[in-house]
Amino acid sequence: MTKIKLLIVDDEIEFAETLAERMELRGIATQTANNGKEALEMVHSSPPDLVILDLKMPDMSGLEVLQSIKSMHPSIEVIMLTGHGSTASGIEGMEKGAFDYIMKPVDLNDLLEKLKLANEKRSKA
Amino acid sequence: MNIIQRLITSVLPADPESVTEELFRQKRYKRFRYSLFLAMNLIGLIPMMLTAGLGFSQYRDLLQREERDQLQWNMEGAQKTIEAFVHELQSVVNFVAHEDRYQELLDQNNLQILFDRLHKQYPGFVDLGVIDSKGIQQAYVGPYNLQGKDYSHQDWFAEVVAKKVFISNVVMGFRQAPHFAIKVTKKIPGTNEHWVLRATINAETLYHFIETINTQASDDIFIVSRDGILQTPSLFYGHILDSFQLSEQSTTKGQINRQLYDDIIDPTQLSEQLTTKGQIREVVDSSGKHILQASVLLKNTPWILILTKEGYIHGSHWSSFRQKLFFIFAGCSIVGLLITIQLSKILTERIRESDEKRHALLTEAEHTHKLASIGRLAAGVAHEINNPLAIIDQKAGLIQDILEFGGDFENKDKVTASLLGIHNGVNRCKVITHRLLGFARRMDFCEEKVHINEVLKEVLSFLEKEAMYNHIKFNLNLQEDIPVIYSDQGQLQQIFLNIINNALDAIGHDGQVTITSQVEDDSVLIGIQDNGPGIPEKTLQHIFEPFFTTKETGKGTGLGLSITYGLVKKLGGTIRVTSTVGEGAFFEVRFPLSL
């Protein structure tokens, strides 16, 4: 998985950076963005392979960011982060093209598993 | 106005403080019932009383007037008839006593022939006498020996000379039989002296005649002299020649037509006041009877005609009518009272019922509202806590990663143990926040055909193992032909899972859970009965509130049943729990069939 480029989008900087650090420790090249605008810029300048995207952010919601990313680079797989504890918003994200969703607080092993599956899907495509 | 106000205030909702004061409310309903009863009675009884009273008095007045009129006509008829009869007798005697027949009539034989002829025509004639100017009876025909009798000292003799025609009162006289006399005075031709023809007539003639003209309109009809002596026998007031008592009776005042009593008349006054027009009075006789008395002077006679009639309104017909009226009135009043009592009771009950229903609805709405706001609050709190929780989780994870990738150092084991502690703590928090969010979340309502029995069986299959370990037995009592309902299968599962799980927790081990389903009216009813320790009254009141738990700290979140409650409500159903401590608890969930 060394080739994977990951982008974590979350308005909670601490969360995003800590998660990014842990990903780096596991050999995944990870960048962070703290809002939707920043994320889109980064996707535009250097497109990642996978995106972990928080659903609830100020200014631009995760679903809007998801739609933009998918329109720019349909090959990028996105995993939604939902704090809602509900499956509904996750399912809505999946309908809009997200690969999967995972609930906060995140169990790292679950997340890694999903990332692996997403990457496999991307590679096949 | 006052009653209406009271009615309105009684019906108006009680203010919140008094809602709890059950006793006060009972009093209000009682007061309302009394006012209603009173108002209805006033509305019903007053017009009834007025109508009955007015009708009664009007009818009585009419009857009295009618009665007086009847008596008046009767009296006038009788007066005319008797006057005509007396006039006829008088004319006969007058005709017989032709002036120049004096000498002829002095002859006993001639007089006898005349008397025979008269007697043939009028059997009432008793005798006939000729009296000369000195008052000596010169000739006489009749059953008594009165030839030569001297009448010169008697009062009538002077009078008859002056009046030409004279009718006497009925007397016994020498003849010892009631009779009256018609006397006619004529001049002796060629002189200044008078002679008198005197015809005596049996009083019975008068009596029989009166009898024939008596009608239904009067009870008694008779003749009295001007000084109050009965001239004909009366049915009620004595025999012939008795003195007539009626007018001497004192009369009771204060009755109808008072002015009639004001002239208490003695016999002598009677004649003075009377005219030939007559008058009608109401008097009380010696036996206490109220009677109408009509009296009139008979023209050219010394007599007064009297008719009496018992007042109808004092008679038995009237009193029985009055009695009937009273009973009808009393009967109607009692029936009315009973109806109004019943009616006010029913009305008050209805109002009380609707009040209670409204109160229950309000309480339920309040309860739902409370749960909803607590839910929203909880969701907000959970969401806010979720993010820092995620940071803590990640930070702890990072430290653990660093430890794993780095080398050994002092106390590494302790740090690792602490990190595990943090991780466990975070996980517990996670469960709570996710449940809280689930409690409030708005999941899309996924409506599908659901076989309730299959849902129940599926839920039980999840729990079978756990139950088996704890020696808990499931009893299924499911109605086979329950129609399909449209609902959310997943949420239904969660509902029953929560309830049955709670039942298992409550029992602990060794016991049984009975699950029933049936169709009742237009809803399907699912009952879950356990034989655990039961739920105390105090706990029952809060059982559906979030965070309310009786389990040990850490074992339950206190959200299970409140989530269940919210789900049932969302699916359009109701949930109810009853319990007896020591016997177990019974949860009843009800969903409408036509959802």
Element (DSSP H or E) covering residue B223: strand B220-225
- The DSSP code sequence of B570-594 is HTT-EEEEEEETTTEEEEEEEEES-
Judged by CB atoms closer than 8 Å, whether chains meet at B394 and A15 is answered as yes
Q: What angle do CA B525, B528, B531 make, to 5 degrees?
A: 150
Task: Write out pLDDT tens, residues B394-409.
Answer: 999 999 888 888 878 8
Token representation of residue B386: 């979720």
Strand partners, B165: B184
Smallest Cα–Cα separation from A1: which of A70, A33, A49? A49
Chain length of chain B = 595
In a domain, B153, yes or no: yes
Which residues of A are less than 8 Å from B432 in CB distance? none
The reported pLDDT for the residue numbered A87 is 62
Distance CA B274, CA B287 (A): 25
Whether residues A22 and B398 touch (CB distance < 8 A) is answered with: yes
pLDDT value at residue A8: 94
Whether the predicted model's global pTM rises above the 0.90 cut: no
Q: How far is B407 from chain A (nearest CA, A)?
A: 15
Phi-psi region for residue B471, left (φ > 0), alpha (ψ -120 to 50) or beta? left
| Domain annotation covers residue B326 | no
Single residue among B157, B180, B206 that ends a domain in this structure: B206
Evaluate whether residue B436 is within a structural domain.
Answer: no
Helix B489-507 with B452-469: angle, nearest 10 deg: 30
Rounded-to-integer distance, Cα B49 and Cα B81, Å: 48
CATH number at residue B499: 3.30.565.10
What distance in Å separates the CA atoms of residue B418 and residue B14, rounded to the nearest whole number? 61
- Interchain proximity B438–A86, CB inside 8 Å: yes
Q: Report the chain A residue with the minimal C-alpha distance to residue B398.
A: A22
CA distance B205 to B124: 6
Contact B341, B39 (CB under 8 A): no
Q: Distance (Å, rounded) from C-alpha A89 to C-alpha A57?
A: 14
- Domain presence at residue B9: no
A81-120: per-residue pLDDT in tens? 887 555 667 778 888 888 988 888 888 888 999 999 999 8
B234: phi > 0 → left, psi -120 to 50 → alpha, else beta; which?
beta
Residues of chain A contacting B390 with CB distance shorter than 8 Å: 12, 15, 83, 104-106
Closest residue by Cα to residue B572 from B591, B593, B588: B591
Predicted pLDDT at B464: 81
CA-based R_g, chain B, Å? 59
Residue of chain B with shortest Cα separation from A11: B387
Cα gap B108→B422, rounded to integer Å:
171
Asked if B444 is an interface residue toward chain A (Cβ–Cβ < 8 A), one would say yes
Peptide bond between residue A105 and the one before it cis (omega within 30 degrees of 0):
yes
B86 is a domain residue: no
- B382 to chain A, any CB pair closer than 8 A? The answer is yes
**Is residue B238 situated within a structural domain?**
no
Q: Chain A: give the shortest CA distance to residue B443, in Å.
A: 6
Which of B177, B206, B235 is at the close of a domain?
B206
Which CATH code fits A5-107?
3.40.50.2300
Q: What is the pLDDT of residue B256?
A: 33
Q: How far apart are CA B305 and CA B85, in angstroms?
A: 14
Question: Rounded to whole angstroms, how far apart are CA atoms B151 and B136?
Answer: 6
Q: Which domain holds residue B449?
A: 443-595
CB contact under 8 A, B438 and A15: no
Give the domain CATH number at B103: 3.30.450.20
With contacts defined as CB-CB under 8 Å, which chain B residues touch A22? 394, 397-398, 401
* DSSP assignment letter at B532: S
Q: What are phi and psi of A4, to 5 degrees?
A: -70, 135
Please state, in angstroms and rounded to a whole number, the distance separating the CA atoms of residues B333 and B42.
11
State phi, psi for B174 to the nearest 5 degrees. -70, -20
Size of interface A-B (CB pairs under 8 A): 69
Is B446 in the A-facing interface, judged by CB distances under 8 Å?
no
Q: Which segments in chain B show pLDDT lower than 50?
A: 13, 16-19, 246-269, 271, 442-444, 595
Most A CBs within 10 A among B385, B389, B391, B567, hence the mutation to make, goes to: B391
Taking chain A, what is the end-to-end CA distance rounded to the nearest angstrom?
17
Which pLDDT value is given to residue A52? 94
CB-based contacts of B508, cutoff 8 Å, min separation 6: B470, B532
Instruction: Answer with the one of B182, B206, B230 that is the final residue of a domain.
Output: B206
What is the pLDDT, as a whole number, of residue B444?
Answer: 42
Residue found by looking up tokens 């009664």 in the block: B56
Spatial contact of A55 and A62, defined as CB atoms under 8 Å apart: yes
CA-to-CA distance for B159 and B563, rounded, in angstroms?
A: 132
B378-406: burial string, b at 16+ Cβ within 10 Å, e else = bbeebbebbbebbbbbbbbbbbbbeeeee
Query: Given this model, what pLDDT does residue A39 score?
Result: 93
Tell me if B579 is assigned to some domain: yes
- Number of domains forming the structure of chain B: 2
Residue B61 structure tokens? 């007045």
The bridge status of strand B303-310 relative to strand B220-225 is antiparallel
Rg (CA), chain A: 13
